[in-house]
Structure 1
Amino acid sequence: MNRQPFILLVMAAFFLVANVMAEDRIAIEKNVNELIAAIDNGRDPSSFASDAFTPYVFVMELSGRLLVHPTLAGEDLQERVQPIYEALLQATPEGVWVKYTWKGKEKFTFAKRCCENLIVASGY
């Protein structure tokens, strides 16, 4: 049995998925950077609609309180989901990709520190 067509199909699927993920990462980083630029120009961080971006963005104070999130705005992530809070604290001013589990799914989030006390993030 000739496995070459199957192997080529698997390789093509892998490269397609890798390309889509790379494009998603670029778009996510762009969204986070745009939101931070607006905050740096004086816009109130809590004035953003989380669903104005795809995928949604969220803004968290270093204390853990979510200022912007589609379902958890006003909640304290440090109290509610400590492992995710700790993952997000890895954020740097340059931005970093962090990994955590949320509701049984592995998530990848681009998190960036902004101002002195905010983390702006988005992911898939």
Structure 2
Amino acid sequence: MSTMIRMLLVPAMCFLAVTANADDKAAIEKHVNEMVRAINQGKEAANYPADAYTPYVFIMEPSGKLIVHPFLVGEYLQEKAAPVHSALQRATTKGVWVEYFWKGTQKQTYVRKTNNNLIVGSGQ
């Protein structure tokens, strides 16, 4: 009997994990899209707090300078994390998920460009 329960429990847990991941991704996209929309309508990008959402959001200038980030404001991402900077350069005005490895872990980040080419992103 316990084998049968385990056989049913494992797929159920996998389903819940996939559903939670999809929900997390949808929330991340929503937050980034809201920020891009507001910036495109005139909101000052630097006025966003990095911790306004969980996970945190960042805003990067085309030069790679981070203008919103929990602890790297004013830093140039290509100098701190070249592989991450390279992945984020694939941002589009419609938004795209990018994948990269950072510190031995695969990361996924949703990035979208504003009308003035700022890159807004958040990930997991």
Structures share fold, TM-score greater than 0.5: yes
Q: Could you tell me which residue of structure 1 aligns to residue 91 of structure 2?
A: 91
Q: Could you tell me which residue of structure 1 aligns to residue 67 of structure 2?
A: 67
Q: Could you tell me which residue of structure 2 aligns to residue 111 of structure 1?
A: 111
Q: Could you tell me which residue of structure 2 aligns to residue 51 of structure 1?
A: 51
Identity level (%):
49
Q: Distance in 2 between matches of 1:7 and 1:75?
A: 50
CA separation of 1:11/1:74 partners in 2, compared to 1, >3 Å: closer, same or farther?
Answer: same
Q: Distance in 2 between matches of 1:22 and 1:11?
A: 16
How far 1:116 moved relative to its partner? 2.9
Deviations 1:6-26 (A, max 9, x none): 222110111000000010011
- Indicate yes or no: 2:123 matched with 1:123: yes
Q: Considering only aligned residues, what root-mean-square deviation do their CA atoms show, in Å?
A: 1.5
Q: Could you tell me which residue of structure 1 aligns to residue 26 of structure 2?
A: 26
Q: Distance in 2 between matches of 1:117 and 1:16?
A: 37
Deviations 1:86-105 (A, max 9, x none): 10011111111111223332
Q: Distance in 2 between matches of 1:35 and 1:66?
A: 15
How far 1:33 moved relative to its partner? 0.8
Deviations 1:44-83 (A, max 9, x none): 1111001011111100112111010001111100121111
How far 1:2 moved relative to its partner? 7.5
How many pairs were matched up?
Answer: 124
Please tell me whether the aligned partners of residues 83 and 102 of structure 2 are also in contact (alpha carbons under 8 angstroms): no
**Unaligned ranges ≥5, structure 2:** none
Please tell me whether the aligned partners of residues 60 and 119 of structure 2 are also in contact (alpha carbons under 8 angstroms): yes
How far 1:37 moved relative to its partner? 1.3
TM-score under structure 2 length normalisation: 0.92
